[in-house]
Chain A
């Protein structure tokens, strides 16, 4: 079974802090994704990566950056946290879409910025 592990289930940080959210997958997937989920707004793609050191902006990249130094790990970075970044963050991984493979999700990190 594919396992996607997010390092924290709950996280509380202060405005202005630099925040790191970590995600690790164990299935050698090429693609990894970061989403945020907010009530009434559904899932919105922040960034995705299709290979080590490769990344593409999603729909809402402002205020975020990412890092993928190793294939299994994809980090989301909030450069200077703000209260409007309080949200549920979901990481996912998948094989290349040419295989029509689904995404596999972690359990999420509920982040609160005070």
Chain B
């Protein structure tokens, strides 16, 4: 079975400090993993994706994520938060030959000035 757990429903950081959003997954197969961002009243925008190439994946807007198979984790990080990063973030897993995407419950990131 496939599942995704986002360990924090809310994260609050100060502008200029690092961001860490945590995601653990469960999969019986080699997964593809994605992070999306959703700003209020907008759709989901792809930040980055892992598809069994390099384990450290760089995305847009300075975000990156590291795939750790031994820990079944795919945490999202950014060295320095910006006010515009305030949004909801979703970790998603998909598995080849299952025509389905599995969504985490989301983490709302608040950035304080």
On A, residues with C-beta under 8 Å from B are: 4, 9, 31, 33, 42-43, 45, 48, 50, 56, 88, 90, 92, 96-98, 100, 102-108, 110
Contacts and interface: CB of A to CB of B under 8 A. Distances in A.
Nearest to A39: B106
How extensive is the interface on chain B, given as a class? 20 to 34
A108 B43 contact: yes
Interface of B: 32, 34, 36, 41-46, 49, 51-52, 90, 92, 94-101, 103-106
B94 A100 contact: yes
B99 A50 contact: yes
Contact of A43 (B46, B51, B96, B103): B103
Contacts of B101: 33, 103
A88 B42 CA distance: 10
Contacts of B36: 105
A50 B42 CA distance: 25
B54 to A, nearest CB: 14
B44 A105 contact: yes
